Amino acid sequence: MHNVYIYILAAALVTYLIRALPLVLWRKEITSPFVKSFLYYVPYACLAAMTFPAMITATESIISGLVGFLVAAFLAFRKKSLVVVALWACVAVFIVERALTMM
């Protein structure tokens, strides 16, 4: 039988090493504009990569998920607040889901 604590310890060690090694190995200030801009956008890209599939598959239909995403993206690009974006995306998904169930 496998000991779950060994797996937890290994996961913690790997996570710690991934976060701590760059701090230990790289002590100079990053001066490259390309590297700075790349590192600036990494959290946003990771967040998008994690949430986009969930947005599409969280609904009954992929169509309603895509409509909700498109509404949210449109409103976000129009610089609306987070509450407005989330509310209208939910309304759009609700309307599309109801329309699809009537078909």
Tell me phi and psi for residue 32, to 5 degrees: -70, 125
Q: Give the predicted TM-score (pTM) of the model.
A: 0.62
Predicted local confidence at residue 1, as pLDDT: 54
CB count in 10 Å sphere of residue 80: 15
Can you list the residues of the chain whose pLDDT is less than 50? none
What pLDDT score was predicted for residue 83? Answer: 97
Instruction: State residue 85's pLDDT score.
Output: 96
The predicted structure's pLDDT at residue 97: 95
DSSP assignments along 42-99, one per residue: HHHHHHHHHHHHHHHHSSSSHHHHHHHHHHHHHHHHTT--HHHHHHHHHHHHHHHHHH
Q: What does the domain layout of the chain look like in residue ranges?
A: 30-102
